[in-house]
Amino acid sequence: MISLFERLLKYYNFTIEDYKAWVSLGREDDIPKPNDDKFFAMIERIKLAVKNGEKIVIYGDYDADGITSTSIMYMTLKELNAEVGYFIPSRYVEGYGLYAGRVDQFAEKGYKLLITVDNGVSRFDEVKRAKDKGMDVIIIDHHTIQEKLPEADFIFHQTYSNVTDHNISAAFLTLIVSHGLLGYYRPYYIVLAGIAALSDSMPVTKANVALLRLTFRYIEKYKYYNILSLGTDPIIDEKYLNYQIIPKLNAIGRIETTIKINDAVKFLTSDDHRTISYYASRLDAYNKKRKELTSSFSESNIRYIGGACIYESNLPLGLGGLLANRIMSEKKLPTIVLSRKEDEVVASLRTPENYDIIESLKDLEGLDEFGGHKNAAGLSFPYNKKEEMIIEISSRLIPSKEIIKRTAIELNIDEITSDSYKLISSFGPYGNSHPSPIFHLNISNQAFHSFTSNPKHIVAKVADVTIIYFNGRDKLNINGYTDLYGRFELNDYRGNTTLQFIVEFSTSENEIVLIK
């Protein structure tokens, strides 16, 4: 068997040079710095607005990327003593993107410079409306751009502006603008941009790797109360941000139906501990409500059409995707969660990995809106066409006949050491397009015993690792040994840090390619 290092290189298709470049990322110098006349002209326009005392307004979005982007831009401009305000739209009132009614209000209040963050590149009419009312418009957005662009004064976008050759979050773009205005990076702004990189599932490559490493380092170093008030896990990594911080920042936009969503920006931009604690408790309450609402679903409400699960929900629209993912994960079938919004049906789609929603529905007529990714998408259509659209969509969701091959790294028990874990960790951070490695272990069934609280869950202590297999009691092989596939993670319980192996599956319908 080749060395563990060689197996990891093979798993990620890295050369030794690739690995050296990978581990070297993590400095502020690794953050892209535009060298473009349009970028510098945009910076000068913002500085001129500050100098002349023009009123500036930032228009964000209701998810974690939009909230962090708005916070970075707002705090940056406040540092420059600008006359600046901000607005986060409600998913249920203004909806996504620049809203004409708010543009009118901004004009009435005398704002002269409108900066959109995490939205704008698809808002042609609203941008024109702002221009017609005497405002200059700057768009900072990372979403896919079309051949035609809004007639904004400046558009800052990762590929359009030649910043990177891969997607980065709007908060990362805003961080770059902040540096252009201030001449330096505020570590806290880097942390906010790093949170957005994970919340928006940006590809973990190049600049995003550097950003995430800086994020973990600065949280550890500066112990920002705004962040730590949402999650106290002493291990600061992707899991900490993904499970303790990001859900709480996203929950307010999913649950809150009024402009109180702007409280999330107040939370991130405050330096008063009492204020931060108050808003942290509110964000935690929104997240608990979100979990409560999506914790269960009624089996009797599920219809099966064309091999898909159809579920009509009366939950807030912002929870449709979470509910669809929950049903899909349990049923292992394409799932469509439907919600009614006046005379429109809003649908959230989730599928197993051997489906492609975008490809299946790319030429479907009758949709008002449609967007998303291969296994997760959202769309809408007129309510009076609900049944025919459901039947048509369901019939198009057909699994690929291609056999999905999953790769795993063969690991011997005696290789499970703290040094091995350090080596594995050097291939992080992990996320979209760069997941944590899956390992294969062959374990004696005799090593396992059931959880006291739930006998379906089993655990084993082997060498220096605790192996946990949720719902694994009935999945062990009868021949005495079981092939387990899973991932390693560190766990801290009351100050005691242990290495765990979380089993994902023991048998699979997918073909497994073992790296030995």
Q: Hunting for tokens 């409560």 — which residue is that?
A: 292
Residue-level length of the chain:
516
Please write the tens of the pLDDT for every residue from 425-465.
999 999 999 999 999 999 888 888 888 788 889 999 988 89
For the chain, domains (ranges, CATH) are: 34-282 (3.90.1640.30), 299-396 (3.10.310.30), 404-515 (2.40.50.460)
**Cα dihedral: 446, 452, 456, 458 (round 10):** -40
Q: For residues 188 and 222, is the Cβ–Cβ distance under 8 A?
A: yes
Our CA angle for 468, 291, 451, nearest 5°, is: 25
Q: Which two tokens stand for residue 135?
A: 């405002």
pLDDT, tens digit (0-9, with 9 covering 90-100), for 55-109? 999 999 999 999 999 999 999 999 999 999 999 999 989 988 999 999 999 999 9
Tell me the two tokens of residue 142. 């990372």
For the chain (516 residues), the mean pLDDT of every run of 10, in chain order, is 96 98 98 96 98 98 97 98 97 91 97 97 95 98 90 97 96 98 98 97 96 98 97 92 97 95 98 98 97 88 94 92 93 95 94 92 92 88 96 94 85 90 97 96 89 87 89 81 92 86 80 90
Long-range contacts at 391-394 (CB < 8 A, ≥ 24 apart): 391/305, 391/306, 392/364, 392/366, 393/308, 393/336, 393/347, 393/349, 393/361, 393/364, 394/305, 394/306, 394/307, 394/308, 394/310, 394/334, 394/336
Q: What is the pLDDT of residue 510?
A: 63
Burial of 458 from C-beta contacts in 10 A (0-12 / 13-18 / 19+):
buried
Q: Which residues of 184-194 are buried (b: 16+ CB within 10 A; e: fewer)?
A: ebbbbbbbbbb
The predicted pLDDT at position 150 comes to 96
* CB-CB contact of 97 with 119 (8 Å): yes
Alpha helices, DSSP H, located in 54-147: 64-79, 100-108, 124-132
- Closest CA relative to residue 425, chosen from 31, 22, 30: 22
pLDDT score for 171? 98
| 487 vs 489: CA distance, rounded Å | 7
Name the residue with tokens 């962090």.
68
Residues 355 and 367 sit within 8 Å (Cβ to Cβ): no
